[in-house]
Every structure is written in C-alpha cells, then in structure tokens.
A = this chain, B = another copy of it.
Amino acid sequence: MAVTAPGGRRGRMHLPHQTVETPVFMPVGTQGTVKAVAQDVLESLGAQLILGNTYHLYLRPGHEAIRRMGGLHRFMSWPRALLTDSGGFQVFSLNALRKVTADGVQFRSHLDGSTHFFTPEHAIDVQIALGADICMAFDECTEYPAERSRAEESLRNTMAWAGRSLAHFRAHRHNVPWFDPNAGRTQCLFGIVQGGMYRDLRRQCAERLVEMDFDGYAIGGLSVGEPRALTLEMIAEVLPLLPKDKPRYVMGVGYPDEIEQYARMGLDMMDCVLPTRAARHGLLFTSEGRLNIKNRQYAEDQSPPDPACDCPVCRRYSRAYLRHLMQSAEPLSGTLNTIHNLAYYLAIMERVRASLETQPAVTASQRQTPIPSP
C-alpha cells in the first residue's frame, strides 16, 4: 500500500497567519494557552500552529467576548497559525449527560452545570468568532468499542453535520474578526472522517466528505482506546481516498514514534495533549526512551533530561533539578518539563521534514494549499 511506504510528504500550508511547514506537530492550547508555556517560548521552540478548544473557549471566556476583542490570535497574543476543533470531542468526552439528536447535541457545562445546545451551525459560528486559521466541521466522535449499528448511526450524524457545517461556514466565513476584504484572506474548514473501527464506514465517510470539497481532511475518532494496529488500519484505509493536494490531519495522536510513523505514511498534521499532559506528571520523552523524572534514581543525576536534545531545558537544567522541582510541587516543574517535551515533539517533525527534503521522489509531491478565498 503506497501510503504505508516510508517517506511521507513535505509541504507548505499558506494560512492567513503563518506559512506552515508540513508535516507539522501542533501543541494543544486548550483554554487559549499551551499549559504552563508562554507564547514567546512557543515561538522560540518553533511552534507554527497551535490548537484552541472550541468547547472550553465557548464556555470561558466566551466566543462573543473573544470576537469583541478581535479574535483568539489577538486575545492570546499568538501571531502564528491557530486551529480550533469542533467542540465535538469535548462535548462527548466531558459530558455524561449529553443528549444527541439529528439536529445537534445538548450538553451541560462542566464548569457550572448550565445547559447548552450545539448545532453544526452554532459550532461554526463559535469558531468564526474565535477566528482560528483552520476550523473543523462539527462531528460526533464515536466511542470505542462501538457496535456496528451504533457506529452507523453516529456516522449519519457526522456526515449530515459536515454538510451543514460547510454550508454555514461558506455563508458566514467573512464574519471572522480579522477578515480583510482586500487581502481576501479568511479561515478554512476541514472535514473529519469518522466511522469507528469499521473500514467500510471510514471509506464511506471519506468519500462523502471529499465530494463536499473541504479545504482539508482530518481523521478523527482514533486513539480512543483501540490497539495501535487498528489505528493504523483505519488510517491506511482512509489515506488513499483523500485528495493529494489537500492537507491531511490525524487528530489526537500520539507517542513520539507514532507521530513520526504517521508523518512517514503521508499525514501532514498531528496534535496531541500527550507531550504537555505527560510533562505535568513528570514523564519526559527522550532519545533514550521515556524518563519518569520523579524516580529516585535521578535525585543527584546532573546530566540533562536528554543528552541528545538541545532544547533550552536540556541546555541549562539537570535531571536532579527537574526532579527536585517536581517533588517540591513547584510551578516551574510543569513549565520546564513541558518545554522539553514540546521541543522533543517539534524536533521529530523537523527531522522528518529535513529527511523528506533530501529525497527527490518525495520532494516531487510538494504541494501548495491555496489560500482560501472568501
């Protein structure tokens, strides 16, 4: 299968706020901040594109407040590219009391218990108010495991909502806070391929979304508890169906070896909370494997977290110091651990990009994503 051949593709996404070199790893900035790391540090680490979570920002501080302040870029002072998810994943993962109808999802705020209703149109309105460079169609993230009948029913929603998301987006994208009619630059919208762990449902969804003609395509509903072989099988099933000239994004994965593997399969974009969340729990990813900084063996270890890493943390601090910060519950602990893990993830993608540039056969697959016009 062509997509599983080693290699991947080297590309460039021309987004309104950043030309993004792909394949790219996108740090997650749930509430308008990549947890514990300041924006200037993210810039110096080479982060090109970061995520905001529509669900969280809708609840707090509220998308209308962010719109009034000029959009999420300006609110959080992030000059490079942003992507907002559809809100679907959080609605499904954080809300035991949600009610799904063909029209949308009713859910309760995890903050104050208040009741909210998201339709595809509403999810798009919220994302236009936030004003990320890339928005995501409203989808239903199918749980794992799911019976076939359940996966089919869920997929019907995802496909119907994709169409409604796209229609609403096309009619309203000019409302983005930073829209400039002269430059003609505005947001773009990606569709999300669901279908649970059923190959034919995945295929059906991908084909339907491609017909709709999104600006890019994501593969969602993976890394939800299934074995990795199954994740790979679903990706391999979907990839050949996606247009070669559009970005391909696998959502919410994964470990360092996974993101390299997916990049080399031809995926262009990946995001995951793992490097940031694991960091706050003391788990560091290194060229020598995973390192639990809380371990007593590091109490007087003066070597850097990863001797092969040249991130600002590895250049300056020792394992012993990072362990002390963690043991002492010092806030600097989360910051330094996160900086290292993000640097490690970003460096993987940089290496993949560099290796693709030296492979002529792959360089030939370079593509340009057209700037979306209003």
Which of B61, B77, B300, B312 is A317 in contact with, Cβ under 8 Å?
B77
Chain B residue contacts of A336, Cβ below 8 A: 38
Cα-based distance from A69 to B38 in the complex (angstroms): 30
B321 with A76: CB separation less than 8 A: yes
Chain B residue contacts of A65, Cβ below 8 A: 299-300, 320
Cα-based distance from A13 to B318 in the complex (angstroms): 30
B321 with A77: CB separation less than 8 A: yes
Number of chain A residues close to chain B: CB under 8 A: 37
Interface residues of A in 105-131 (CB under 8 A from B): none
A318 with B36: CB separation less than 8 A: no
Interface residues of A in 24-69 (CB under 8 A from B): 31-33, 35-40, 60-61, 65, 68-69
Question: Does A274 belong to the interface (CB within 8 Å)?
Answer: no
In the complex, what's the smallest C-beta–C-beta distance from A127 to chain B, in angstroms? 18
Which of B38, B299, B327 is A332 in contact with, Cβ under 8 Å?
B38
In the complex, what's the smallest C-beta–C-beta distance from A202 to chain B, in angstroms? 35
Chain B residue contacts of A325, Cβ below 8 A: 31, 33
Interface residues of A in 295-353 (CB under 8 A from B): 299-300, 302, 312, 316-318, 320-321, 324-325, 327-328, 330-332, 334-336
Give 20 new A-B contacts, CB below 8 A, not counting A36-B332, A36-B335, A331-B334. Answer: A31-B330, A32-B321, A33-B328, A33-B330, A36-B331, A38-B335, A40-B312, A40-B316, A60-B324, A61-B320, A61-B324, A65-B299, A68-B300, A70-B302, A75-B318, A75-B320, A75-B321, A77-B317, A77-B321, A331-B335
Chain A residues within 8 Å of B, Cβ to Cβ:
31-33, 35-40, 60-61, 65, 68-70, 75-77, 299-300, 302, 312, 316-318, 320-321, 324-325, 327-328, 330-332, 334-336
